[in-house]
Structure 1
Amino acid sequence: MHAAVVTAFGRPPRYQSFPDPVPAAGEVLVRVLAAGLHPRVRSGAAGTHYTSDGTLPLVPGFDGVGLTPDGARVFFGGLKAPNGSMAEYVAVPAKALVDLPDGVDDVTVAGAMNPAMSAWLALTHRARIQPGESVLVLGATGNAGQMAVQLARHEGAKTITAAGRDPRALAKLPGLGADRTVSLDADDATVAGRLAEAAANVDVVVDYVWGHPTEVALAAIASARADAAHRLRWVHVGAMAGPDITLPGATLRKTNIDFRGSGQGSVSPADMRTAHQELADRLPTAGLTIDTVTMPLRDVEAAWDTKMPTGTRTVLVP
């Protein structure tokens, strides 16, 4: 078969021949219809993702849409190197196959499911959001952050505050469900004041930024809460601004904050499968919006080097 193949970390994959996958016991051979080029895919192909074991060559691609031998259209995710979804065929554990409903096209699913899944897990399986609660999305201008805004609204959040740096993407967020927007593009004192005013009493924070902006946000919100004992669930999903934070012990003593992460390993495989099916079942009614650019798989090198606007996801089609 033909596939995108990484032969050296730090270089784009090349479109070339690769051995056909041979399904092991419990696996299904899936013909790939569409695969998204997500940040998770790029880090895996670069060998920098925390799950990377350094194996080369590898086919990148973490998830995708495909057809099973009996003609069922499915979404699949959780693939492990070296056999990814940017190929004509891939062997997928049968337990990882998620039936797709009618009414959603392959490219939209391939582009949306990865960022939407990060938001869905954070909101429903990690934060356990309830209707009527309030949510702050830190890093709301990226694909996943935009999905978090939309899914929080779909799940009945009372108020949604969206915070980010990109002014054009931030301006779109009220149309996706945000009640308030906060620009993070300012000095620390200004950002802290904005967040204290807009999001002091939120119930849930979905955090895609981490690093220094999270330190600023945490200090501002913890100091401004009307009721320090009211529980705040802070869910760390991404680290766009840095991998670490400094967390003063006093913050945990003076405020009821529940920190948790959301990602591979934070939920069981069974719960991950359940979450994928929950999200797939909601696709026809959730009205999720994502901009996609479709490119043929043979142009993977060009796709890799093309910088897309914020909020746009590249989808490769064999």
Structure 2
Amino acid sequence: MKAAVISSSGQAPHYRDIDEPLAVKPGEMQIQVLAAGLHHLTRGMAAGAHYSSRGHAPLVAGMDGVGRGSDGKLRYFVQGPGQPGTMAERTVIELHHSITLPDDCDPVLIAGTMNPAMASWMALRCRLPSFRARLPLQRGKRVLILGATGCSGRLAVQIARHLGASQVLAAGRNAARLAALPALGATGTVTLGAAELGHLASEVDVVLDFVWGECCVRTMEAILRQRSNRSQPLDWLHVGSMAGDVAPIPGAFLRSARLQVMGSGLGAISGREMLAELPELVRTIARGTFKTEVRALPLSEVERAWSDDDAPAGRIVFTP
């Protein structure tokens, strides 16, 4: 069968023939892959740069997808450690890492949207101590999204509003994409790093941070300096590291304000919690609740598209 095979860490995968994987353990099933998204996480895992990277090359790229199982059911699935990648004609999944989909849903839409949507959905539903998991975001919460112009950030704007946030301030660097966010639910926008960011975000309750690094520290300092009541809780959720994986947060920030910094991702949220959230997220996406851009490409184009920085906007989804 054909697959996108990574022969060396950090290199784009090659489209070539490999042996077909077989389901041999209890609870496994062979899947005919219909769609597999090219996510930042996918690239990071393939390069061995992500904390959840599965192993050494050679390996098949891809960490999630949509396909039809040997039982005839359409499924969305996420691969765990030791499972083969998803950018192939067929793969083998663990059934408890999958959910059944309605037959009339669009595999490309689900494969392209689930991973970037999960970042903010899981953070807001599972990680905030002031909320109970699987209940809507408390009405009236004010949310700041750092890195709102990327695919995950644009979805975060919509998800925060969908879950009940009264205000969503979107911060990003791409001016054109920033200008489009009010139509997606943002109640305000600001250029990331602008002098007015601290003032505009001074009273937010929640920060969804896709940026991290030094930018996170500067933004945190600007917000705390402008905050009228430092005893007002501020939950800072680290969900991405676009500006660097290290954020040197001074201890004084934590002592002088009711600031709680936490991560949201694989490990910080249990697999059981994630699986409990997936059905509702899938239903919401399938209903067309969120506006997102997905672009289907044949898997045979994986090497060209893997690192095409000049490609049009939209999450790439490979179709074997």
TM tier, smaller:
over 0.9
Residue 176 (structure 2) pairs with residue 168 (structure 1): yes
Going from structure 1 to structure 2, the CA distance change for 1:310 and 1:300 (only over 3 Å counts) comes to: closer
Going from structure 1 to structure 2, the CA distance change for 1:104 and 1:134 (only over 3 Å counts) comes to: farther
Opposite residue 6 of structure 1, the aligned amino acid is I
Partner in structure 1 of residue 134 of structure 2: none
Counterpart CA distance in 1 for 2:231 and 2:252 is: 14
Partner in structure 2 of residue 84 of structure 1: 85
Secondary structure of the residue aligned to 2:196 is helix
Counterpart CA distance in 2 for 1:9 and 1:90 is: 21
Counterpart CA distance in 2 for 1:243 and 1:211 is: 6
- State the 1:10 CA deviation: 2.4
- State the 1:81 CA deviation: 5.5
Partner in structure 2 of residue 313 of structure 1: 315
Residue 231 (structure 2) pairs with residue 217 (structure 1): no
Secondary structure of the residue aligned to 1:196 is helix
Q: Is residue 141–residue 310 contact of structure 1 (8 Å, CA) maintained in 2?
A: no
Please give the residue correspondences for 1:220-299 in structure 2 after superposition, counting only pairs within 5 Å. Answer: 220-285=222-287, 287-299=289-301
Which of 199, 202, 206 pairs up with 1:200? Answer: 202
Aligned length: 312
- State the 1:263 CA deviation: 0.8
Please give the residue correspondences for 1:52-91 in structure 2 after superposition, counting only pairs within 5 Å. Answer: 52=53, 54-80=55-81, 83-91=84-92
Q: Is residue 30–residue 92 contact of structure 2 (8 Å, CA) maintained in 1?
A: yes
- State the 1:272 CA deviation: 1.4
Counterpart CA distance in 1 for 2:213 and 2:313 is: 22
- Post-superposition Cα deviations, 1:135-154, rounded to whole Å, max 9, x if no partner, equal 00000000111111000010
- State the 1:311 CA deviation: 4.9
Please give the residue correspondences for 1:14-163 in structure 2 after superposition, counting only pairs within 5 Å. Answer: 14-23=14-23, 24-52=25-53, 54-80=55-81, 83-101=84-102, 104-127=105-128, 128=131, 129-163=137-171
Going from structure 1 to structure 2, the CA distance change for 1:225 and 1:101 (only over 3 Å counts) comes to: farther
Which of 167, 176, 190 pairs up with 1:182? Answer: 190
- Post-superposition Cα deviations, 1:69-128, rounded to whole Å, max 9, x if no partner, equal 122111111444561100011111111111223654111111111100111111111124
Q: 295-304 vs 50-59, which deviates more? A: 50-59
- State the 1:270 CA deviation: 0.6
Q: TM-score, normalised by structure 2?
A: 0.93
Q: Is residue 63–residue 85 contact of structure 2 (8 Å, CA) maintained in 1?
A: yes
CA RMSD of aligned residues (A): 1.7
Q: TM-score, normalised by structure 1?
A: 0.93
Counterpart CA distance in 2 for 1:102 and 1:158 is: 35
Counterpart CA distance in 1 for 2:85 and 2:55 is: 14
The answer for unaligned runs of 5 or more in structure 1 is none
Going from structure 1 to structure 2, the CA distance change for 1:309 and 1:301 (only over 3 Å counts) comes to: closer
Secondary structure of the residue aligned to 1:137 is strand
Opposite residue 251 of structure 1, the aligned amino acid is F
- State the 1:156 CA deviation: 1.0
Opposite residue 10 of structure 1, the aligned amino acid is G
Q: Is residue 210–residue 242 contact of structure 2 (8 Å, CA) maintained in 1?
A: yes
Partner in structure 2 of residue 2 of structure 1: 2
The answer for unaligned runs of 5 or more in structure 2 is 132-136
Opposite residue 75 of structure 1, the aligned amino acid is Y
- State the 1:168 CA deviation: 1.1
Counterpart CA distance in 1 for 2:317 and 2:301 is: 11
Q: 203-212 vs 225-234, which deviates more? A: 225-234
Q: Is residue 57–residue 82 contact of structure 1 (8 Å, CA) maintained in 2?
A: no
Q: Is residue 62–residue 77 contact of structure 1 (8 Å, CA) maintained in 2?
A: yes
Going from structure 1 to structure 2, the CA distance change for 1:97 and 1:231 (only over 3 Å counts) comes to: same
Counterpart CA distance in 2 for 1:51 and 1:143 is: 21
Q: Is residue 79–residue 94 contact of structure 2 (8 Å, CA) maintained in 1?
A: no
